[in-house]
């Protein structure tokens, strides 16, 4: 998937910034704001964020965004400006592969958009469509293709509506959305083919468990656990959390026959199981309980990546559902 074109969602400014933006274009920096009226100063700061992102000054853009969204003293801060800044922050987090923080920015943007009254305006729909595209990107990159497909479908429909209003502005992002749908469709076909392969290997290794040679049985068990884990991973990526739970549970059961001690392999399998449980509304409490029990194990094993993953899952366990609930009334 290509990354979002942030310019397409940039809200319409109410002030004439021609002279001021020309000045920024020469220096790359904002001029003194104290002599400007509030509306002009806000518009110029917003435009400057876009300028910084276009010139790949990500750190400066992030600092400029944070300075605005966390400043409660700004009077008359338009809601769409505020929401766009969170969308831009989400894009910056995506650039740095901070996908959980990107989801947090999306949630913040939606919390702002809830209070916008003109929900059929071009600028409002452009920000919502762009948020959906970014969410699809996050879920595609984190192997949650089922969610990505749903978000891209909604995103594409919104951009199709927007193209009818303003073809020049929105047609590039519509093309991106269509291309992304094709990419994910091809990915799903590949996943199904790989899943069929692992189904075959699972059957093969299961049959080998009846062998009288204990060494062969032990090798078959290890391979069976890996095959079941891959099946669980693929089911999770394709959005079938219930079957993913079954495969992870089977893998853990066979792994116990290899080693009764909880080690790194048991930890990663259990995290996979927790991720699947989190996707099931009635099993989220069980997932949270499992993750809390796994954290001390990960710390004992000094498994840095797994510690971070567990903490992120616990901190963001309700974020996807909150985001989708808010989006229902907007897209």
3-state helix, strand, coil in the chain (%, to 5): 80, 0, 20
Amino acid 312: pLDDT: 85
Cα separation of 28 and 13, whole Å?
Answer: 20
Number of Cα atoms under 13 Å in the Cβ half of residue 60: 15
The answer to whether 225 and 265 have CB atoms below 8 angstroms apart is: yes
Angle (CA) 177-182-186 rounded to 5° is 145
Helix or strand (DSSP H, E) at 144 = none
Which class would CATH give 6-11+18-165?
mainly alpha
Domains in the chain: boundaries: 6-11+18-165, 189-318
Amino acid 331: pLDDT: 63
What does the DSSP assignment read for 209-239? TT-S-HHHHHHHHHHHHHHHHHHHHHHHHTT
The answer to whether 306 and 268 have CB atoms below 8 angstroms apart is: yes
Amino acid 43: pLDDT: 94
From first to last of its 331 residues, what are the pLDDT tens digits of the chain?
888 888 899 999 989 999 999 988 888 888 888 888 989 999 999 999 999 999 999 999 999 999 999 887 776 789 999 999 999 999 999 999 999 899 999 999 999 999 998 889 999 999 999 999 999 999 998 888 888 988 999 999 999 999 999 999 999 999 999 998 888 877 878 888 888 988 899 988 888 888 778 888 889 899 999 999 999 999 998 889 999 999 999 999 999 999 888 999 999 999 999 999 998 888 989 999 999 999 999 999 999 999 999 998 888 777 777 787 788 767 6
Angle (CA) 4-115-176 rounded to 5° is 15
Cα separation of 331 and 83, whole Å?
Answer: 15
Number of Cα atoms under 13 Å in the Cβ half of residue 266: 18
Intrachain domains 6-11+18-165 and 189-318 with the same fold? yes
**What angle do helix axes 319-328 and 122-141 make, rounded to 10 degrees?**
150
The model's pTM = 0.80
Q: Cβ of 193: how many Cβ atoms within 10 Å?
A: 9
Third-level CATH fold of 189-318: 1.25.40
The answer to whether 276 and 261 have CB atoms below 8 angstroms apart is: no
């Amino acid at each position: 998937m290509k990354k979002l074109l942030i310019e397409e969602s940039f809200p319409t400014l109410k002030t004439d910034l021609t002279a001021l933006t020309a000045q920024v274009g020469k220096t790359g920096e904002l001029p003194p704001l104290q002599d400007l009226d509030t509306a002009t100063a806000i518009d110029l700061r917003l435009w400057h964020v876009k300028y910084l992102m276009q010139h790949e000054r990500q750190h400066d853009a992030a600092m400029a965004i944070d300075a605005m969204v966390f400043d409660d003293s700004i009077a008359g801060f338009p809601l769409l400006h505020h929401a766009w800044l969170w969308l831009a922050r989400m894009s910056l987090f995506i650039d740095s592969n901070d996908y959980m923080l990107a989801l947090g920015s999306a949630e913040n943007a939606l919390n702002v958009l809830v209070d916008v009254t003109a929900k059929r305006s071009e600028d409002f729909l452009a920000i919502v469509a762009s948020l959906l595209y970014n969410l699809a990107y996050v879920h595609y990159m984190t192997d949650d293709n089922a969610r990505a497909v749903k978000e891209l479908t909604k995103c594409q429909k919104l951009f199709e509506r927007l193209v009818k209003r303003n073809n020049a502005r929105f047609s590039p992002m519509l093309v991106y959305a269509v291309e992304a749908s094709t990419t994910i469709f091809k990915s799903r076909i590949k996943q199904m083919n790989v899943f069929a392969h692992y189904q075959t290997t699972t059957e093969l290794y299961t049959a080998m468990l009846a062998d009288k040679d204990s060494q062969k049985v032990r090798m078959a068990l290890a391979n069976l656990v890996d095959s079941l884990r891959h099946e669980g991973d693929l089911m999770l990526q394709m959005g079938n959390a219930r079957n993913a739970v079954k495969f992870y549970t089977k893998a853990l059961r066979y792994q116990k026959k290899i080693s009764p001690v909880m080690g790194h392999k048991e930890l990663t399998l259990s995290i996979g199981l927790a991720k699947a449980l989190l996707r099931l509304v009635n099993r989220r409490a069980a997932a949270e309980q499992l993750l809390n029990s796994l954290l001390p194990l990960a710390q004992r094993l000094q498994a840095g990546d797994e510690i971070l993953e567990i903490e992120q899952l616990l901190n963001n366990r309700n974020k996807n559902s909150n985001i989708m609930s808010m989006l229902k009334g907007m897209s």
